[in-house]
Amino acid sequence: MPERKYAVTIYVAAPGTPLLLDGGTSLPGHMYFSTEDATGNKRSFGFAPIEHGSASGPGRRYDSDVDNYSKPVYARTMEITKDQFDRLNEFGHDAGKFGFNMQYQDVRNNCVDFTWAALNHAGIHREKHIVLPGSGGPGSEVRVRAPVDVSGKNALRPTHNIEDIQSIENPVPHSPVNTEKRNPMPKDQSPMQWLLSDKHRLDQPAHPANGMFRQAMDGVAKLNAEHGVAPSPRDSRFAGSLTVAATAEGMRGIDHVMLSDDASRAFAVEGNLQSVHGLDRKMAWVETMQALETPLDRSSAAWPQAEEQGRALVQQQEQQQQQAQQEIAQASKAPVMSLS
């Protein structure tokens, strides 16, 4: 008889997400979770004020978020143990019994706190990290993991918690249950919802560099296959770093992703790999470990500066090429001395 599998799914809904049951849209966004057993029985757990739309006041558990929030922007599903399944359910049903403050208080105690408290109660933690300055200027800081579990939230807004959700180690490694799903950001948003959103990530279809990012993801997937490495949340970090580096070099696409012989550097290549003269090839490189540890949010924040740098570089190269062509043309028109 096959062993029963248990799972938890953590959801992040962005501001402007349509509400199927309540009507309208979510103003601040939402973070919630569900548990599921082998029979497909799913339980939904979320925390919000009793008075809909209130910024503070008495709160309660909501059991319909999975059905209410249409196409949340991010969801991560992980296989968990029976003990973790039971602990998530007991906390979700009666969080106050386990010390959670049932008074909703804007960003100080909200759905984000509730979800992390439930996960922590089940022994599921985000990674502990410190942020170090990077070598690429603003936005290139590196998030370095420390060997310590940490409880509670690290960011106030639901959408700012995606990186931390991705940092959770799978309780059951290599399980086919372990998956991630993304949806586009909501299209119709009020000005306030727009301000509360993260619309400028490289992995969003509306981002001008999303095409290059997808090419980088394809290249990283090929590298994984070649080296027998399983896909992981770090792939998007790797691809984001490559995209920023390629953009800064004035590249318009990424046709190949390669590693140095010692794997210390990764290269994004546009053009012909077999080129002898290199005139039909462009290349950018990153430090592999730094690229793997740089959150996608930080790469996305660094992209506008990289785009300006790349545009300036291309203009400079075009000017140099035009100048060289003019010099060649002038040389061909110069009078030729005759020996007769």
Tens digits of residue pLDDT in 73-103: 999 999 999 999 999 999 999 999 999 999 9
Q: Regarding predicted confidence, which is higher, 136 or 223?
A: 223
- Given a cut of 80, whether residue 180 has pLDDT beyond it is yes
Query: Does 141 lie in the same domain as 24?
Result: yes
DSSP SS3 for 32: strand
- Given a cut of 50, whether residue 138 has pLDDT beyond it is no
User: What does the pLDDT average to over 205-217?
Assistant: 89
Query: Does 85 lie in the same domain as 12?
Result: yes
- Given a cut of 80, whether residue 69 has pLDDT beyond it is yes
Residue where the block lists tokens 């940490």: 150
User: What does the pLDDT average to over 149-162?
Assistant: 76
Query: Does 54 lie in the same domain as 37?
Result: yes
CB-based contact 134:141 (threshold 8 Å): yes
Query: Does 146 lie in the same domain as 18?
Result: yes
- 283 CB-side CA count, 13 A: 16
Q: Is 44 exposed, middle or buried (0-12, 13-18, 19+ CB in 10 A)?
A: buried
Which residue range(s) make up the domain with 79? 6-191
Query: Does 214 lie in the same domain as 106?
Result: no
CB-based contact 219:268 (threshold 8 Å): yes
Query: Does 283 lie in the same domain as 142?
Result: no
Give the range among 39-48, 79-88, 198-207, 216-225 with minimum mean pLDDT: 198-207
Tens digits of residue pLDDT in 225-258: 999 999 998 999 999 999 999 999 999 999 999 9
Flag whether 240 is in a domain. yes
Give the distance, in angstroms, between the CA of residue 236 and the centroid of all CA atoms in the same chain.
6
Which helix H or strand E contains 76, and what residues bound it?
strand 74-80
**Number of domains present in the structure of the chain:** 2
Query: Does 208 lie in the same domain as 100?
Result: no
- Closest by CA position to 269, among listed 259, 257, 278: 257
* pLDDT of 147: 56
Query: Does 218 lie in the same domain as 176?
Result: no
- Given a cut of 70, whether residue 110 has pLDDT beyond it is yes
Flag whether 311 is in a domain. no
* pLDDT of 191: 58
CB-based contact 267:245 (threshold 8 Å): no
**At a CB cut-off of 8 Å and minimum separation 6, what does 235 contact?**
217, 220, 221, 224
User: What does the pLDDT average to over 138-162?
Assistant: 66
Query: Does 280 lie in the same domain as 160?
Result: no
Flag whether 340 is in a domain. no
Is 0.75 topped by the overall pTM? no
Query: Does 111 lie in the same domain as 17?
Result: yes
CA 259-128-98 angle, 5° bins: 140
* pLDDT of 140: 45
Q: CB atoms < 10 A from the CB of 304, how many?
A: 15
Query: Does 106 lie in the same domain as 41?
Result: yes
Q: Regarding predicted confidence, which is higher, 329 or 159?
A: 159
* pLDDT of 308: 86
Residue where the block lists tokens 């409880």: 151
* pLDDT of 336: 60
Q: For residue 137, what pLDDT band results from cuts at 50, 70 and 90?
A: very low
DSSP of 116-169, one letter per residue?
HHHHHHTT--EEEEEEE--SSSTT--EEEEEEEEE-S-S-SSGGGGHHHHHTSP
- Given a cut of 90, whether residue 277 has pLDDT beyond it is no
Q: Is 244 exposed, middle or buried (0-12, 13-18, 19+ CB in 10 A)?
A: buried
Q: Regarding predicted confidence, which is higher, 194 or 55?
A: 55
Query: Does 88 lie in the same domain as 15?
Result: yes
